[in-house]
Chain A
Amino acid sequence: MRKNRIAITGIGIFCAAGKDVPSFTRNLLEGRSAIGPVDIFDVSPFPSRIGAQVRDYDPLAYFSAKTAGELSRADQFGVIAAGEALADSGVKDRCSPYDIGVSMGAGAAGMLQAEQWLREKLAAGKGRPSLLRGILPDRTSTAIVRHYGLGGYQGSITTACSSSATAIGWGADLVATGRLKAVVCGGSDAISLLTYAGFNSLRVVDPEPCAPFSLGRKGISLGEGAAFFVLEDAEEAARRGARIRGYVLGYAAVGEAFHMTAPEPTGAEAARVIAGALEHTGVRKEDVGWVNAHGTGTPLNDMVESKAMKLVFGELVGKVPLVSTKGLTGHCLGSAGAIEAVATIVSLTEGIIPQTLNFRGRDPECDLDYGHEGARKSSASVALSNSFAFGGNITTLVVSR
């Protein structure tokens, strides 16, 4: 078990469900879904034409024209959210920049701009090279490091939809081991044609707003955005008078070793990661207030995740709601884990268990408490957040208020 307690001293978020923590909190509390029309590129050929796109976004409200031109959409989201978290923590003024690092979870990253390069290349034989600048998912971490002058660490975890959950766990570990005094950890991702067309081609996108754990659900709604925590050693943070927003107690991240896209159907592997996270942190099952589900809204994920809950919690399962916030934020892929970790901490702080939106009816194969009826009050101090990914890369984070 981890010896050093790791405190969350800063939170930042920038996504379709809120462009900062206060607006995200309002939308989370009110259960206001951000899923709507997508117009970032032509979606008319696809069965699903919706998503949680960041709307009314003007990069020049945040960056100079030069900087905006150098950063992909995902980089920009990341820099903005990381900036909010850093400002919230105030840690930059308190230690050497070589003691602060960035642990990033990334997904499609700057693919949206790279797609434009390919389009130009196919049409005219040559594309604008600047469009390729952000094609690799590590670019966002470099943008954050450069923008805020951080020198301690730079690492980008790229395990698709579990990237940023693992990045938070790893970030906590970098602080716990004494390698860093503070870490900016989380993730950023942007909707791209690659992911939009890709998930549509696999027929796992719901034409209507995603309805996790509901009867007749047909799949995901894609989303985009960024979210970050600043983590510090709890004792050090308390000593410097930092406002502690919660704690990252630990995590587990394993490979199912089953299939590249399909979850292991009995839920045993998902149960293993959830149980592993509890074991790693020493948290008892009865102390878990709820689980923020991966809860994508695909028929298979929601059924398997429900089975895993039963395997882990046994007779207690009825007392541990499994809620998905993807009806609010969409599935933000590389940043999903971080956005949902923020949703979990905000909910713990506000004393609620959030609602799973877009209920369509009871699915007999999903027979747990999913919080479809609405947000409810809770005095829980600990919650889990699951993130499952292509490749069977599954992660569970344990956080507390």
Chain B
Amino acid sequence: MTSPRTEIVVTGLAAVSPAGVGLEPLREVIGSGVSALRPIPPELAGREGYLWGRAEGFKASDFMSPLKARKLDRCSQFAVVATGMALKNAGLDPAAFGATRIGIVLGCGFGGIANSEEFLRGYMTNGVDGLVPMLFPNTVPNAPASNASIEYGMKGPNATFVQRFCSAEAAFQMACRFLEEGRADIMLTGGVDELDPFMIEAFRDMGQLRRFADGFSEGAGILVLEKGDVARKRGAAIRAEVGHIRTVGSLLPGREGEGIARLLSGTGNPAVVSLSGVAAGMPCLTGPLGHSRILETGSLLGRSLAMGGLAMASLILSAPRGASALHYGASPEGPYYAIDFTVS
């Protein structure tokens, strides 16, 4: 897979996570190694022993009017708040910079599902009188990125991916490409996901609490990417440089080695490696890492479909200056991602 021909750098980070709101709580959890996950109430999970990572510290009312909060689904609230923090962290004002030159591509997990459930529940229990039209627009997974673009007037490229545990990595890849092509000078990217009690009921029914949904979490992890020359020209602090991005769509039965080889191609000796999705359970990825320090955010912050955003933010926050860093994202049935960084 190709590497960016354009120098792409990370100039801003933001996080809303089970650790709290902002980068400091995230840094503390990573530094201490004390998990931010909490027990799921047994009456919800069916028994004791399961964990989840709700962003309990997040209160929409701390950041927006009650009217605006009511209009936004939970994922959009996360995205709007985290996007504002990321812009601030990068020292950016979209209007002053040039609205059409700043875009956003996010990975989203279960965004829109809660609104869909509430909307349908209204209909199924009270017929057409139970329909709440205001809920419908935010049933789409692009609501978080689109609401963020509306809030901050970012008129550049705009897209959303839902792709298993690699939703954020898929978005990251596209954001880099948009910078390479010159479609934008600055791209916000990362992931956002939400976790609602009714989702736990569904996970329980599907048997997923015993598999991938144990330790499920929510939040947003956003990175500000820009061309190196743009960042230097505006005097932005560069936190990391983006290197190669490699991806494989699925590992084909009987030919898994070929896919893994493509994913590992060009991997050096990274000082720090973040593991997202189900990557920690894949010895073919973790085995060759040697003496690299492993950052497995799933056990600290929980796992979500768009956790790659938080994992990449955590990687950049925690890697020493000058270190080479690697991010692995993996989903049970694909895709798989390997993304190289050099931390500034």
- The interface of chain A, by Cβ under 8 A from chain B, is 45-46, 96-98, 101-102, 106, 111, 115, 117-119, 121-122, 126-127, 129, 132, 135-138, 141-142, 145-146, 149-160, 166, 170, 173, 177-179, 193-194, 197-202, 252-261, 269, 272, 280, 389-393
Contact = CB atoms under 8 A, between A and B. Distances in A.
Contacts of A117: 202, 205
B161 A152 contact: no
B150 A155 contact: no
B230 interface: no
Contact of B149 (A153, A177, A389, A392): A392
B50 interface: no
A154 B154 CA distance: 27
Say which size band chain B's interface belongs to: 35 or more
Interface of B: 1-2, 99-100, 103-104, 108, 110, 113, 116-117, 119-121, 123-125, 127-128, 131-133, 136-143, 145-147, 149-150, 152-164, 167, 170, 174, 177, 181, 183, 201-202, 205-207, 247-252, 255, 258-259, 262, 305, 333-335
Contact of B146 (A127, A166, A193, A255): A255
A152 B248 contact: yes
A149 B163 CA distance: 18
A118 B124 contact: yes
B159 A156 contact: no
Contacts of B117: 118
A257 B99 contact: yes
A198 B112 CA distance: 13
Given A117-B202, A156-B170, 5 more contacts: A45-B128, A98-B262, A153-B249, A258-B150, A391-B143
B153 A138 contact: no
A202 B125 CA distance: 19
Contacts of A259: 150
Contacts of B155: 254-257, 269, 272
A150 B250 contact: yes
Contacts of A102: 249
Given A98-B248, A98-B259, A145 B146 contact: no
Contact of B249 (A154, A255, A272): A154
Given A255-B155, A259-B150, A260-B137, A151 B120 contact: no
B131 A201 contact: yes
A149 B99 CA distance: 42
What are the 7 tightest A-B residue pairs by CB atom distance, in nearest-first order? A391-B146, A255-B158, A154-B249, A198-B136, A255-B149, A158-B141, A201-B133
B303 to A, nearest CB: 15
A392 B335 contact: no
Given A166-B159, A256-B155, A122 B125 contact: yes
B113 A135 contact: yes
Contact of B162 (A111, A156, A269, A393): A156
A151 B259 contact: yes
Contacts, number: 210
Interface SS of chain A: mixed
B161 A157 contact: yes
Given A160-B140, A170-B174, A257-B155, A46 B104 contact: no
Question: Most B CB atoms within 10 A — which of A96, A198, A258?
Answer: A198
A391 B140 contact: yes
Nearest to B104: A255
A248 to B, nearest CB: 15
Nearest to A135: B113
B136 A202 contact: yes
A198 B170 contact: no
Contact of B121 (A122, A126, A152, A390): A122
Contacts of A252: 183
B150 A392 contact: yes
A151 B250 contact: yes
Contacts of A179: 1-2, 247
B120 A390 contact: no
Given A197-B119, A197-B131, A257 B149 contact: yes
A375 to B, nearest CB: 33
Contacts of B146: 159, 255, 260, 390-393
Nearest to A150: B249
Contact of B142 (A97, A126, A158): A158
Contacts of A255: 103-104, 145-146, 149-150, 154-158
Nearest to B71: A260
B163 A194 contact: no
A340 B305 CA distance: 30
A160 B142 contact: yes
Contacts of A154: 163, 249-250, 334-335
B138 A260 contact: yes
A138 B100 contact: no
A197 B123 contact: yes
B221 to A, nearest CB: 18
Contacts of A197: 119-120, 123, 128, 131
B139 A198 contact: yes
A197 B139 CA distance: 12
Contacts of A138: 162-164, 167
Contacts of A155: 161, 163, 170, 335
B2 A127 contact: no
Contacts of A136: 110, 162, 164, 305
9 contacts: A118-B124, A151-B248, A153-B249, A157-B161, A260-B147, A272-B155, A390-B142, A391-B145, A393-B159
Nearest to B164: A138
B212 to A, nearest CB: 12
B136 A159 contact: no
Contacts of B132: 201
A194 B103 CA distance: 29
B250 A146 contact: yes
A136 B208 CA distance: 14
Given A126-B205, A201-B136, A194 B119 contact: yes
A364 to B, nearest CB: 29
A177 B2 contact: yes
Nearest to A196: B123
Given A122-B124, A177-B177, A260-B143, A254 B156 contact: yes
A193 B136 CA distance: 12
A159 B150 contact: no
